[in-house]
């Protein structure tokens, strides 16, 4: 069975077996892979710490707001001062 010119052209457009299996990007050295993993670990850890600090701050802020609404003025003032001292807020 003879191939037509169109079939030959289409076959030539396809990669041969060797080219199809070949990696498109060179493999990184092991040291670089370890460095990337270390950076990812550190970034995820610092991101989690930042989120924890933010969550703690907002929880404390909500607690102070509740104190202002529901506690007597003198006790609410104590809570506000504690919050300001803990988070370095100047009034």
Q: Is 15 a residue whose pLDDT tops 80?
A: no
Task: Specify the DSSP class assigned to residue 51.
Answer: H
Domain with 19, as residue range(s), is 5-87
The pTM for the full model equals: 0.56
pLDDT for residue 87 is more than 90: no
Confidence class of residue 5 from pLDDT cuts 50, 70 and 90? confident
- Confidence tier at 89 by pLDDT (50, 70, 90): confident
Kindly compute the dihedral angle of the four CA atoms of residues 9, 11, 15, 21, in this order, to the nearest 10 degrees. 180
- Quote the number of domains for the chain: 1
Per-residue pLDDT band at 88 (split at 50, 70, 90): confident
State the Cα–Cα distance between residues 40 and 63, nearest whole angstrom.
34
Mean pLDDT of 47-68: 93
């Amino acid at each position: 069975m003879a191939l037509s010119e169109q079939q030959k052209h289409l076959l030539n457009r396809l990669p041969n077996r060797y080219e199809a299996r070949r990696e498109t990007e060179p493999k990184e050295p092991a040291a670089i892979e370890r460095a990337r993993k270390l950076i990812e670990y550190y970034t995820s850890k610092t991101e989690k710490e930042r989120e924890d600090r933010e969550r703690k701050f907002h929880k404390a802020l909500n607690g102070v707001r509740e104190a202002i609404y529901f506690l007597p003025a003198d006790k609410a003032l104590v809570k506000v001062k504690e919050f300001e001292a803990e988070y370095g807020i100047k009034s």
